[in-house]
Amino acid sequence: MICLPDSRSLDEAASRLRAGELVSFPTETVYGLGANAWNAQAVAKIFAAKGRPATNPLIVHVASVAQLELAVPESLPSHVTDGLQALNGFWPGSLTLVLPRNSRIPDIVTAGLDTVGVRIPAHPVALDLLRRCEFPVAAPSANPSNYVSPTCAEHVDRELGEKVAMILDGGRCQAGLESTIVTLVEQPPRLLRAGALPVEAIAEKLGLSVTTLLRHAPTKEAAAHDQSQLSPGRLPEHYAPRTRLLLASDVESQLRTDSATAVATPTKFGRILFRADSPLLIDATEIICLSEHGALDEIARGLFAALRQLDHRGLDAIVVDTCEETGLGRAIMDRLRRACRGSQRG
């Protein structure tokens, strides 16, 4: 059920969360599928609704830095406190920090890790809801596992509508890409997922180079975690539409490979443009232009909705523009590369 947020529906949403039910709520990045993070049974419903592997930990949401204590121990190592101090100006915002977890956070939330990802979202509805909750709210993106994240209430309703008690409608997400994830547990801090907050801004606040923040996992063990549970976003099948997705920069060579290997060559194309004057490259039956002049924030905001829209049109392939991998462009290209690999699964 999609509900407009007002004081009554927000109170009801908080009560339903308190009672162990699932509530989807808007954030500035994407819509979340929320459950009381202190209630293992409620959190189990998230995994069931999404078809999410139990090895993939959830992000916990709180309303303020003061509420961090709902998820994180009172006393933190000094390098963690330093990192928090340097970065908490980005909150509320599109930054998730991986921190030590306290004993009230059950194993199911963190997939057994001794750390927890925490975020204060910058959306008035999310903040209002979280302020009404005296517990932290665990919330992954509100999409079936492996599908494109939702950026409006209708996206959530279409795939998970039957599985949630309420969907709070906060309109279209402003950022349109998931949060940037940084671990403060490692020294120095390290990027786990590019996202809506550019890494350049984070590196500057930490007094680190971007290269240091982007470095690979330090140990074999950490690398194995990255591959399996810490950053399942790195698995190829993440964020993929069902329709085959091709990057505009690869389309020519991909189609050549298709004909050389006797793969059926696509004939019905959708096309996502990043600017009005991008070359079409193929004969498209459906065209979506995300930004007149290639503004990265506009591209990010509209990208997932465009992928979803074209995914329902019975096309053979979608060809999408590429952009430079700096600032927001890094997260845009990260999601597109994964979507390309994931969409060619079968």
Sites of contact with ligand TXA (CB under 6 A)? 27, 29-30, 32, 56-59, 96, 98, 110, 113, 115-117, 119, 121, 139-141, 178-179, 181, 192, 230-233
The distance of closest approach from Cβ of residue 321 to ligand TXA in the complex, given in angstroms and rounded to an integer, is 23
- Any idea what DSSP says for residue 149? P
With respect to ligand TXA, which residue has the nearer C-beta, 239 or 274? 239
Backbone dihedral angles phi then psi of residue 145, each to the nearest 5 degrees: -50, 135
The distance of closest approach from Cβ of residue 325 to ligand TXA in the complex, given in angstroms and rounded to an integer, is 20
C-alpha–C-alpha distance, residues 128 and 123, integer Å: 8
C-alpha–C-alpha distance, residues 201 and 276, integer Å: 29
Q: Which of ligand TXA, Mg ion, none interacts with 232 (beta carbon under 5 to 8 A by kind)?
A: ligand TXA
Q: Which of ligand TXA, Mg ion, none interacts with 233 (beta carbon under 5 to 8 A by kind)?
A: ligand TXA
Q: Which of Mg ion, ligand TXA, none interacts with 192 (beta carbon under 5 to 8 A by kind)?
A: ligand TXA
With respect to ligand TXA, which residue has the nearer C-beta, 28 or 321? 28
Q: Which of 141, 179, 243, 291 binds Mg ion (CB under 5 A)?
A: 141
With respect to ligand TXA, which residue has the nearer C-beta, 181 or 310? 181
With respect to ligand TXA, which residue has the nearer C-beta, 73 or 287? 73
* 3-class state of residue 107 by DSSP: helix
The distance of closest approach from Cβ of residue 102 to Mg ion in the complex, given in angstroms and rounded to an integer, is 24
C-alpha–C-alpha distance, residues 305 and 293, integer Å: 19
| Burial class of 327 by CB neighbour count within 10 A (0 to 12, 13 to 18, 19+) | middle
C-alpha–C-alpha distance, residues 318 and 284, integer Å: 9
Pairing of strands 244-247, 317-320: parallel
Residues that bind Mg ion (CB under 5 A): 141
